[in-house]
Chains A and B, each alone.
Chain A
Amino acid sequence: MFDALADRLESAWKKLRGQDKISESNIQEALREVRRALLEADANLQVVKDFVAEVQTKALGAEVIAGVNPAQQFIKIVYDELVAVMGEENAPLANVTTAPTIVLMAGLQGTGKTTATAKLALHLRKQDRSTLLVATDVYRPAAIDQLITLGKQIGVPVFEMGKDADPVEIARQGVEKAQADGIDTVIIDTAGRLQIDESMMAELAQIKNTVTPHEVLLVVDAMTGQEAANLTRTFHEQIGITGAILTKMDGDTRGGAALSVRQISGQPIKFIGVGEKVEALQPFYPDRMASRILGMGDVLTLVEKAQEEVDFAEAEKLQEKILTAKFDFTDFLKQTRLMKNMGSLAGIVKLLPGMGNKLSDEQLQQGEVQLKRSEAMINSMTQEERRNPDLLSGSPSRRRRIAKGSGYSLEDVSKLVSDFQKMRSLMQQMGQGQLPGMGMPGMGGMGGMFGAPSMGPGTPPPGWRGYNSPAPSKKKKKEKKKKGFGSL
């Protein structure tokens, strides 16, 4: 799989040493890398072709920026284009003046429609909007029970007429009931269906014509492959969608399907599903999606995740510090503790730019150990030293004292201090508006911090974001690789 795209572009460019301008001839390999990266991320082939052509035009027309190498400039063009294509930020759910707002859910089997129906209701309740859920899936065993159970969990009424009724009729009466009860929004759950199933698509069209919804949301599994384009096209042509929900984003898929859905329908992705629980719904952010698809990690999500755990002011301060490189050992300790609250190191690391897919399980475990060591060493620092790491860089005697106090060697302490300084300068780069992932080579510092052995550019990564899971042992993999795809 690919190391961060940034790395690969960097090496594509190195081969063209001495060329400092983007030109038709030297851009080809870089474009090939972009194409591969997007395909690996499951963006649809046709969509990728169009996208790459657009990037080429933009790149060739770009002004050369002094002090920025073409690789960096190029990846910024790719990233910006992807963000632009991904569309509006945080497009809200329709909200009509004469209630009820009617929302129709649609999609293939098992994508998460029923779950998303309940999630939306909970989301709307937070905005003081009342909801009624309508159960029209009379086909799947216990589909109605499922919606009723979810409705009970969140205290929202569910309208159903059993499984012998006609879905179109259920939808019609459901909306009538919402009107009668003065409900703000009625959300109609439907059975999963293949876009080539003519009778089921006709049923959906009939539901739509009967209730004339204000919102038709296509629910798409983020792990979907090339098919995302076909299904979006057909649902949009035959039913007409107003937006999409991308589910199962809590997995480790890159989610290139998002690009296909957006490109083909032209409609915004409104929400993402990030878990099985009813609370697990988030607004969609195009920039985050873009860096995820390109494998560039996501500093923002990290900061936001931290915000859920600490109070807001605290996280603000932390973010400010990270971005201005005033981050010190006290903050580091705080953050280490925070990480413990937030879950495993692995979960956090995947959010760091370029880190997620670089570390194996073993390395992460080493990382956890390394963090504990770092913590022990920091505990032996004075408050002043923690606040001002420069004191330590300049004073071997201070470092020696800390080594003694914590039971580690002087070398260990020196390494901690120098890694920390490296990390600070990296953070500063990011703070100066450089793109996450662009400082990749500098990541070595951070990797060291987590105890990961430094990896050469040619090291094959342990697979997609090889974290959090007992990946097959390295050795076995290598052997296989010889026989299999790895030999190429």
Chain B
Amino acid sequence: MTIDTQISKAVLEEEVYKILADVYDPEIPVLSIIDLGIVKNVEVSIGHDQSKTSVVTITPTYSGCPAMDVIAFSIRTSLAQHNYHVIIKQQLSPAWTTDWMTAQGKDKLKAYGIAPPQLQAKRLEKLFEEAEPIVCPRCNSDNTSMISEFGSTACKALHQCNDCKEPFDHFKCH
């Protein structure tokens, strides 16, 4: 491979990442798939006819997350608009963790009203173990309680703030 193709590949890969930063999670529309940390790798190859092929490796958040099919579809259409052939690979190991969510993604979540996952938060193991209090994304009080470990989607739990009384979603540590 010549240095020129290496450079143009690196430029194209950067372009692909930029395009992917505009692909959003359909269930949490403020988070891009880059924010979520589910894009594991991008590789671009250039054919003899100068056609561009992008291999995007993604990892699912939860095994049954229905958003994954929609996300894969959005990746295809977004890259196709920029004249890429698209190959999507799914990688299960290492298993996705909320620790891969970007700091920017967590800020966006909080602004949207969803308490973000804490970095390397303690996982509950013992039965009836109380979760550490989750800070209310609206009033920042830590006087909150969990209503249900399972919320509106597989990745969220339902909490309530005892001060401002608002119920809120918490993006669970996973």
Whether A and B are associated in the same complex: the answer reads no
